[in-house]
Amino acid sequence: MADLPVMIVTGGSRGIGAAIAQRAAKSGYNVCVNYTAAEDRAQEVVKAIRAGGGEAVAIRADVSKPKEVVRLFEEASRARGPLRALVNNAGIDFPSSLAEAEIEAMHKILDTNLFGPILCTREAVHRMSTKSGGHGGVIVNISSIAAVHGGMPGDCVYAASKGGLDSFTLGIAKEVAAEGIRVCAVRPGIIRTEMWQGQLSEQEVEEAGRRAVPLGRVGEADEIAGLVTWLCSDQAGYMTGAIMNVSGGREIFIHN
């Protein structure tokens, strides 16, 4: 098989990340499925991609740790083909009121959700930038509609991390546009993923979709994946610095 363009998907072992990885493989990428602890889940994603005729590899790395981020990109560089896309998807949340939040938990949220994408983007720019001999590329940050409205009660630190990611998206998009790199972000709303487990029951999530989303339902991970793969395609070649809501219109209810 000819060399394929490489895409790194952080947090690619489950939920939105897994959906993006599988969509990207179908779009012709050699996908590096990053994970932190769930090796079995990451290998399941890789297996599914290969069963469909695609190419993928699982790479363990904690994106909040600089040395592990460097190793992630070094291992990804051994994949056949040039790095052409990075999806900063890895994210965590420990819901709690600010007054009761543990300092360590707050650091972990900010380190994973904000510092991690900054670290990964830095490594990607080193490799993609035409100023460094690269061939350009695309970076897509997975934000959250919580960045717009501050999140649900107990999620203000998580919302702050995503608000920072939005600002970073805009800033770095301006910084690297002349180097052949496009940077965009996607803000998912209430999506059917495991992140909701421990916060709301499945029934409560479905009810939230009916009550708090103009389209009247919860979104699916593949609906995010479809937009992400499109943003990485030539069809979106005139887009950078764009932050797109995929929330069923939830922000309309919040604003009104």
User: What DSSP string describes 220-253?
Assistant: -HHHHHHHHHHHTSGGGTT--S-EEEESTTHHHH
The verdict on whether 35 is a catalytic residue reads: no
Q: Which of 29, 35, 158, 238 is catalytic?
A: 158
Phi, psi at 232, each rounded to 5° = -85, -5
Q: Where are the alpha helices (DSSP H) in the chain?
A: 15-26, 39-51, 66-76, 103-110, 116-128, 146-149, 156-176, 202-212, 221-231, 250-255
Three-class secondary structure of residue 102 per DSSP: coil
Short-list 104, 114, 86, CA closest to 12: 86
Short-list 45, 35, 116, 38, CA closest to 75: 35
Q: Which positions are annotated as active-site residues?
A: 158
